[in-house]
Structure 1
Amino acid sequence: MSGSMGRVGGRAWIWIDGIQFDLVSQPTWGVATTKKTTLKGMDGIHGYSEEPIPGFVAATLRDSAGISISEFDAMTDVSVSLQLANGKRVSGSNMVCVDTVEVDSTEGTFSVRFEGEDVTDR
């Protein structure tokens, strides 16, 4: 194990089509392209099935006067980029906003989830 400590969490930034949004919490992402399911029978394991799944980027954002929440419903073919505290950048292109956006007006927050076939982490 290395003797030096580095920042691995606690800070992150998000851009949607090049516009930076206020990131409140819970930035999550996935780059998997398939879901495998074990196929079981009464006599044992028969193998597995595999189906495609989209990559995703999701987060809780802060609402502000400059944001039109209704625009998220129409977001298709957008680029989403997430910069993490450890220096990693997660990027997705041709993404679609798949959640119905609901705003918590007490905190001024809303959650979004974008899915697409091309999500990478570097």
Structure 2
Amino acid sequence: MSQSLYNGLTASNTRRAGVASLEIDGEAVDVAGDLTYSPYSTKKEMLVGQSGVQGFSEMPVTGFISARIRDSGTLSVASFLTKTDSSIVAVLANGKTVYGNNMVCTESSEVATAEATFTVKFEGTDVTESST
């Protein structure tokens, strides 16, 4: 392996995972865990037939931002599935910011009251990531 992969790493720039914050339509929510995202706009699949590998197909997919969040008591859990045209901003431990514009809430699970958590998933065609 190349030594250059490891040059310049210091304590201030080696954090890759951990803390995260999330805003939904400008409102900060408590992230309990499992914040995930996908900026992909296409999915590729290999085409295999009886005579061998014949190429690949490419289909559009939506990007998403999903998280397990904690019900603070002031949230309206029922309102999540009515959210359309939402703006989502996630700031990750590694300094990356993930933006979702014109997002639709496609999933909102039941609340687990022992931990006051539930999962939400927003999907859309405009999910981007930027590094600081």
Normalising by structure 1, report the TM-score: 0.96
Tell me which residue corresponds to 1:70: 78
Q: Report the RMSD for the aligned CA atoms in angstroms.
A: 0.9
Q: Is 1:106 paired with 2:129?
A: no
Tell me which residue corresponds to 1:55: 63
Match of 2:34 among 26, 38, 61: 26
SS of the aligned residue for 2:80 comes to helix
Tell me which residue corresponds to 2:94: 86
SS of the aligned residue for 1:87 comes to coil
Tell me which residue corresponds to 1:14: 22
Contact 1:96 1:116 in 2 (8 A): yes
Normalising by structure 2, report the TM-score: 0.89
Q: Is 1:4 paired with 2:10?
A: yes
The structural deviation recorded for 1:101 is 2.5
SS of the aligned residue for 1:72 comes to helix
The structure-2 alpha-carbon separation of the partners of 1:23 and 1:100, relative to structure 1 and needing over 3 Å to count, comes to closer
SS of the aligned residue for 1:39 comes to strand
Larger radius of gyration, structure 1 or 2? 2
**How many residues get paired?**
122
Contact 2:108 2:118 in 1 (8 A): no
The structural deviation recorded for 1:20 is 0.2
Amino acid in structure 1 at the alignment position of 2:94: N
Choose between structure 1 and 2: higher helix proportion: 2
Structure 1: 5+ residue runs without aligned partners? none
Q: Is 1:116 paired with 2:124?
A: yes
Tell me which residue corresponds to 2:3: none
